[in-house]
């Protein structure tokens, strides 16, 4: 079980109000990703759920019972930290067994659980090494191992992949997703990387300045962002925002169009010159300075032979235009 | 190629050591200068076979051991306290370091005259205020009193080193342990202490070097007495060479002190030296 409910939770550090009243429901077995720019309060929110920070007001319920004043060790949650936070003087085996030892479990049972976790995470050959002798990805797996042996109600991940290199990040991302499929335990995952959020989440919570901007499945957020912030944050490259005459023509204040929804044609709505062409092989990202709508990013197939200085014409897909009012809300 | 610096350092060490070794084999009395004769191992024989020698040896080891115990345990406790956030942290930290800046002679005199004096000392006043008989620390328990005085001046050193070590402890590790359900005591035993072992080793090794040669505190308080109750090896060497004018015997004692220091060093490195390897 791992159902977590936050009701009007707030957090202030002295005078500074980091999290204004916030409500959130996390269902059992869900993979929830908190995403937002740095300093948006996503890590603070995770630490509030973990109990490492005290909430200023409001209530946190875990599986229906009030856990607001429960100390972190008693909440039945396990956390994986950004720095892994392994105990450097203990072997991998002792690291993984530490929570079990603290719970007073007998030695034979501890060993069985550690072996089991090591098998799931491919750590069997490393059990007698120390964290200092492991690579970044292995340390990450030990940290996850230490979390899963406790059989927690929910896993909390605090930017766990940000210390890994790009290739390893993709592998670990898949491993964590697979782990979620196997264990079917609630996972809460904090990241500033929207690719991680899109690929892993059942439910994304977009945070900005402590406020929840939108909650929904990755494709919901991509297809129908509720406001300018979510529209700009989800999707890569970023959505183009057009203001002025061109927006007024669509009867809105800001017009949003994603780079992948712009087609290069002849006689299109916007005409311009290619300022920069980034060739990724499969795709090419073009920065086009248009006469009518300012600078637009366009995603075209890598097959098209377009270069800096070429003159092109762009046409948006009419049913994929996003219209926002003066308050930045989607119309 | 041996660099000049190494040669200089070697001379720096070997000349005094060689002279001491040389004197230790001479019958060299300050009352009869210029009459030195070869004495063979007589100086060693008589130095070791005086009744004061064995008590000086045990006193030296008790002094080192006692001060080490008080400063490491006390240092850990103080460092844990000072690591907590509180108001006036900066001032308190400076005040905690202060005893280390007081010269040994001065601190020993302050303790002797202002605290431990059975008539005017503060402890005597407190005892009298509580209706008890004042206790004459330096004559009833001379060695223990000196251990207390020396420990007082070395406690700041241990506290400082252990405090910096505590501050370098990864906060996420402590939080992870908290999430793992470890109580404060368990976090201390399983995380804080292992993290501190290297610093504790440094504290013990450095302090041992200085504590083997404690002298000023003894000279200004008890003068090694009553009897030889607070005489340690350096003080015995001093008494032999300058009070008994026997430079040869004193040098023999000095060489014995060097051997003792090496034995202690070997023991310490065997016991705790591996903590220094990463």
CA distance B100 to B93: 12
Quickly tell me which residue has 């070791």 as its tokens.
B48
In a domain, B54, yes or no: yes
Q: Are residues B179 and A77, on separate chains, in Cβ contact within 8 Å?
A: yes
Nearest to A33 by CA among A231, A243, A228, A176: A176
Instruction: Please give the pLDDT value at position B207.
Output: 93
Tell me the two tokens of residue B156: 């700041």
In a domain, B29, yes or no: no
- Exposure string (b/e) for A93-116, b if CB count within 10 Å is 16 or more? bbbbbbbbbbeebeeeebeebbee
* Mean per-residue pLDDT over chain A, rounded: 88
Q: Is the pLDDT of residue A166 over 90?
A: no
Of A23-27, A245-249, A278-282, B23-27, the poorest mean pLDDT is in: A245-249
Domain A237-324 architecture: Beta Barrel (2.40)
Give me the residue spans of the domains in chain A.
Answer: 4-226, 237-324
What are the backbone angles phi and psi of residue A273, rounded to the nearest 5°? -110, 140
Nearest to A119 by CA among A31, A168, A179: A179
In a domain, B20, yes or no: no
In a domain, B31, yes or no: no
CA distance A24 to A36: 16
In a domain, B1, yes or no: no
- Considering only CB atoms, B180 lies closest to which of A52, A89, A98, namely A98
Q: Is the pLDDT of residue B88 over 70?
A: yes
In a domain, B27, yes or no: no
Instruction: Please give the pLDDT value at position B278.
Output: 59
Which residues share a beta bridge with B86? none
pLDDT band, very low/low/confident/very high, at B200 (cuts 50, 70, 90):
very high
Which chain A residues are closer than 8 Å to B176 by Cβ? 79, 81, 85-87, 146
B-interface mutation test, from A52, A96, A113, most B Cβ less than 10 A away: A52
Nearest to A31 by CA among A214, A187, A165: A187
Radius of gyration of chain B (CA): 23
CA distance A122 to A137: 11
CA distance B157 to A260: 65
Measure in Å the smallest separation between the Cα of A132 and chain B Cα atoms.
Answer: 10
Nearest CA in chain A to B191: A87
Q: Is the pLDDT of residue B276 over 80?
A: no
pLDDT digits (tens, 9 = 90+) for B232-248: 999 999 998 898 888 88
Kindly give the pairing relationship between strand A203-208 and strand A311-316: unpaired
pLDDT digits (tens, 9 = 90+) for A182-219: 888 999 999 988 888 899 999 999 998 888 899 999 99
Question: Which residue has better confidence, B70 or A58?
Answer: B70
Q: Is the pLDDT of residue B216 over 80?
A: yes
Which chain B residues are closer than 8 Å to A53 by Cβ? none
Instruction: Please give the pLDDT value at position A120.
Output: 86
Q: Are residues B179 and A78, on separate chains, in Cβ contact within 8 Å?
A: yes
CA distance A114 to A109: 9
Instruction: Please give the pLDDT value at position A269.
Output: 86
Nearest CA in chain A to B195: A89
Helices (H), A184-271: 194-200, 218-223, 228-233, 245-249
pLDDT digits (tens, 9 = 90+) for A255-272: 999 999 998 888 888 899
In a domain, B70, yes or no: yes
Query: Average of pLDDT values for B212-227?
Result: 89
pLDDT digits (tens, 9 = 90+) for B139-189: 889 999 999 999 999 999 999 999 999 998 888 899 899 888 888 899 999
Going from the C-alpha of A176 to that of each of A93, A193, B278, the distances in angstroms are 21, 15, 32
Tell me the two tokens of residue A116: 């089991």
Q: Are residues B181 and A74, on separate chains, in Cβ contact within 8 Å?
A: yes
Quickly tell me which residue has 């366009």 as its tokens.
A298
Query: Average of pLDDT values for A222-232?
Result: 91
Query: Average of pLDDT values for B100-127?
Result: 90
Which chain A residues are closer than 8 Å to B179 by Cβ? 50, 52, 72-73, 77-79
> Which residues of A sit within 8 Å Cβ distance of B?
50, 52, 71-74, 77-79, 81-83, 85-87, 89-90, 98-99, 102-103, 146, 150
Which chain B residues are closer than 8 Å to A142 by Cβ? none
Asked whether A146 and A131 are in contact (CB, 8 A), the reply is no
CA distance B117 to B115: 6
The residues near B47 (Cβ < 8 Å, ≥ 6 apart) are B53, B240, B249, B252, B253, B256
What are the backbone angles phi and psi of residue A57, rounded to the nearest 5°? -155, 165
Measure in Å the smallest separation between the Cα of A7 and chain B Cα atoms.
Answer: 22
Please tell me the total count of domains within chain B: 1
CATH for the stretch A4-226: 3.40.50.300
- Number of Cβ within a 10 Å radius of residue B265: 15
Which chain B residues are closer than 8 Å to A90 by Cβ? 190
CA distance B186 to B170: 16
Tell me the two tokens of residue A151: 């059989």
Instruction: Please give the pLDDT value at position A164.
Output: 84
B-interface mutation test, from A49, A87, A132, most B Cβ less than 10 A away: A87
CA distance B228 to B235: 10
- Considering only CB atoms, A87 lies closest to which of B175, B181, B191, namely B191
Q: Is the dihedral of CA B132, B138, B144, B146 positive or negative?
A: positive
CA distance B228 to B239: 11
Measure in Å the smallest separation between the Cα of B171 and chain A Cα atoms.
Answer: 8
- Considering only CB atoms, B170 lies closest to which of A83, A98, A102, namely A83
**Residue B57, domain CATH:** 1.10.3720.10
The predicted model scores a pTM of: 0.80
Tell me if domain A4-226 and domain A237-324 are identical in fold: no
- Between helix A136-148 and helix A92-102 the angle, nearest 10°, is 20
- Considering only CB atoms, A85 lies closest to which of B173, B181, B194, namely B173
Q: Are residues B181 and A73, on separate chains, in Cβ contact within 8 Å?
A: yes
In a domain, B16, yes or no: no
C-beta contacts of A123-131 below 8 A and 24+ residues apart: A123/A92, A123/A96, A126/A92, A127/A91, A127/A92, A127/A93, A128/A91, A128/A92, A128/A93, A129/A91, A129/A92, A130/A88, A130/A89, A130/A90, A130/A91, A130/A92, A131/A84, A131/A86, A131/A87, A131/A88, A131/A90, A131/A92, A131/A95
Query: Average of pLDDT values for A220-229?
Result: 91
Q: Is the pLDDT of residue B1 over 80?
A: no
Q: Is the pLDDT of residue A286 over 80?
A: yes
A-interface mutation test, from B165, B178, B179, B193, most A Cβ less than 10 A away: B179
- Its domain, for residue B61, covers 41-276
Asked whether A324 and A231 are in contact (CB, 8 A), the reply is yes
Assembly ipTM: 0.81
């Amino acid at each position: 079980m791992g159902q977590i409910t936050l009701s009007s939770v707030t957090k202030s550090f002295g005078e500074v109000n980091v999290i204004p009243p916030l409500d959130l429901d996390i269902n059992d077995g869900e993979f929830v990703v908190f995403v937002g720019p740095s300093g948006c309060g996503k890590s603070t929110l995770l630490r509030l759920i973990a109990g490492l920070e005290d909430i200023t007001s409001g209530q946190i319920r875990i599986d229906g019972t009030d856990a607001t004043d429960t100390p972190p060790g008693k909440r039945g949650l396990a956390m994986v930290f950004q720095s892994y936070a392994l105990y450097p003087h203990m072997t991998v085996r002792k690291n993984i067994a530490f929570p079990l030892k603290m719970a007073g479990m007998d030695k034979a049972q501890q060993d069985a659980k550690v072996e089991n976790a090591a098998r799931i995470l491919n750590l069997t050959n490393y059990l007698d090494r120390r964290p200092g002798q492991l690579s970044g990805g292995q340390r990450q797996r030990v940290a996850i191992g230490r979390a899963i042996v406790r059989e927690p109600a929910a896993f909390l991940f605090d930017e766990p992949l940000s210390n890994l290199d790009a290739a390893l990040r993709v592998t670990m991302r898949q491993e964590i997703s697979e782990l979620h499929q196997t264990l079917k335990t609630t996972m809460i995952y904090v990241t500033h990387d929207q690719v991680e959020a899109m690929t892993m989440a059942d439910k994304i919570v977009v945070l900005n300045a402590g406020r929840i901007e939108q909650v929904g499945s990755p494709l919901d957020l991509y297809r129908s962002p509720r406001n300018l912030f979510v529209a700009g944050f989800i999707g890569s490259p970023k959505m183009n925002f057009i203001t002025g005459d061109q927006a007024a023509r669509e009867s809105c204040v800001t017009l949003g169009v994603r780079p992948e929804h712009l087609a290069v044609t002849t006689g299109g709505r916007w005409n311009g010159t290619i300022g920069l062409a980034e060739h990724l092989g499969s795709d090419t990202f073009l920065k086009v300075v248009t006469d009518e709508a300012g600078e637009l990013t366009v995603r075209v197939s890598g097959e098209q032979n377009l270069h800096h200085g070429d003159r092109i014409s762009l046409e948006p897909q009419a049913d994929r235009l996003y219209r926002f009012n003066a308050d930045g809300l989607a119309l | 190629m041996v660099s000049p610096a190494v040669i200089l350092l070697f001379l720096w060490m070997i000349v005094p050591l060689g002279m001491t070794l040389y004197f230790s084999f001479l019958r060299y009395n300050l009352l009869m200068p210029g009459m030195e004769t070869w004495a063979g191992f007589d100086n060693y024989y008589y130095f070791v076979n005086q009744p004061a020698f064995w008590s000086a040896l045990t006193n030296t080891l008790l002094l080192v051991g006692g001060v080490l115990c008080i400063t490491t345990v006390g240092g850990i406790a103080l460092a844990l306290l000072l690591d907590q956030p509180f108001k006036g942290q900066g001032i308190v930290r400076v005040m905690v370091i202060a005893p280390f800046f007081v010269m040994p002679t001065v601190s020993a005199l302050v303790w002797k005259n202002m605290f431990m004096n059975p008539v005017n000392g503060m402890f005597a006043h407190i005892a009298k205020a509580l209706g008890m008989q004042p206790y004459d620390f330096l004559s009833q328990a001379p060695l223990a009193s000196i251990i207390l005085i020396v420990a007082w001046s070395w406690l700041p050193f241990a506290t400082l080193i252990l405090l910096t070590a505590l501050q370098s402890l990864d906060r996420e590790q402590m939080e992870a342990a908290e999430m793992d359900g470890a109580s404060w005591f368990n976090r201390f035993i399983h995380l804080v202490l292992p993290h501190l072992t290297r610093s504790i080793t440094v504290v013990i090794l450095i302090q041992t070097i200085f504590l083997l040669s404690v002298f000023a505190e003894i000279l200004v308080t008890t003068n090694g007495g009553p009897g030889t109750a607070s005489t340690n090896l350096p003080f015995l060497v001093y008494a032999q060479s300058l009070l008994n004018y026997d430079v040869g015997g004193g040098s023999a004692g000095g060489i014995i002190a060097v051997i003792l220091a090496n034995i202690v060093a070997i023991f310490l490195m065997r016991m705790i030296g591996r903590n220094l390897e990463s």
